[in-house]
Amino acid sequence: MEVSFITSAFQESHYPPPDRPEIAFAGRSNVGKSSLINVILGRKKMARTSSTPGRTQAINFFLAGERMYLVDLPGYGFARVPFQVRKSWGSMVETYLMKRPNLKAVVVILDIRRDPGRGDMDLLGWLNKYGIDTILVLTKADKLSRQKSTARAKLIREALGELASDSPTVFSAKTREGRDEIWEKIERIIAV
């Protein structure tokens, strides 16, 4: 698949034209969002990865195979940036989610080793309220045994209750576990 970086947007006027379906990726800082996007796209350094939370500070658009845009949203949570910058990210992301007519779904990313936090619950609740489809992905599965991963996925699903419309996909950037399942869910959504 041909993949290219399109633009980094800080406001609506920077977005590419809404001429194809879009799938956005959201999660707290340092959850493995950029690594997930790189594995999904089959590229090592398309989305910028870092061990420092909060490196994604704009909305980044990638063209995937001329068919769709994949959109990397800034992370929320413990990013080591000034409060005003974090606050501006929130309004920037909310504007994107509310106004983008070709947004088909948001891949909501959680670390399988952590319980869902307030930001995770708020995001899922907000997406549900506005009828935006979600694909729930639990990253960093290679950090746990298969048995522990299965148990954690079940616990997280139960903790999310009605906020989780589908079973989460367990994912590892290291082993690529879950990659095909995520693509299947994306393909199903954009086919509608």
What are 90-101's pLDDT values in tens digits? 678 888 998 999
Return the minimum-mean-pLDDT range out of 81-85, 104-108, 180-184.
81-85
Return the minimum-mean-pLDDT range out of 43-52, 136-145, 147-156.
43-52
pLDDT higher than threshold 90 for residue 20: yes
pLDDT higher than threshold 60 for residue 85: no
CATH 3.40.50.300 fits 3-185, yes or no: yes
Percent of the chain with pLDDT over 70: 86
What local confidence, expressed as pLDDT, does residue 48 receive? Answer: 58
Higher pLDDT, 102 or 79: 102
How large is the average pLDDT for residues 144-149?
95
What local confidence, expressed as pLDDT, does residue 156 receive? Answer: 96
What local confidence, expressed as pLDDT, does residue 173 receive? Answer: 94
pLDDT higher than threshold 80 for residue 59: yes
Higher pLDDT, 166 or 137: 137
Per the prediction, the chain carries an average pLDDT of 86
Handedness of CA 24, 28, 34, 35 (dihedral sign): negative
Would you list the domain boundaries of the chain?
Answer: 3-185
Which tokens hold the place of 83?
């409060």
Return the minimum-mean-pLDDT range out of 79-88, 119-128, 172-181.
79-88
Which tokens hold the place of 135?
């694909």
Three-state DSSP string of the chain:
CCEEEEEEECCHHHCCCCCCCEEEEEEECCCCHHHHHHHHHCCCCCCCCCCCCCCCCCEEEEEECCCEEEEECCCECCCCCCHHHHHHHHHHHHHHHHHCCCEEEEEEEEECCCCCCHHHHHHHHHHHHCCCEEEEEEECHHHCCHHHHHHHHHHHHHHHHHHCCCCCEECCCCCCCCHHHHHHHHHHHHHC
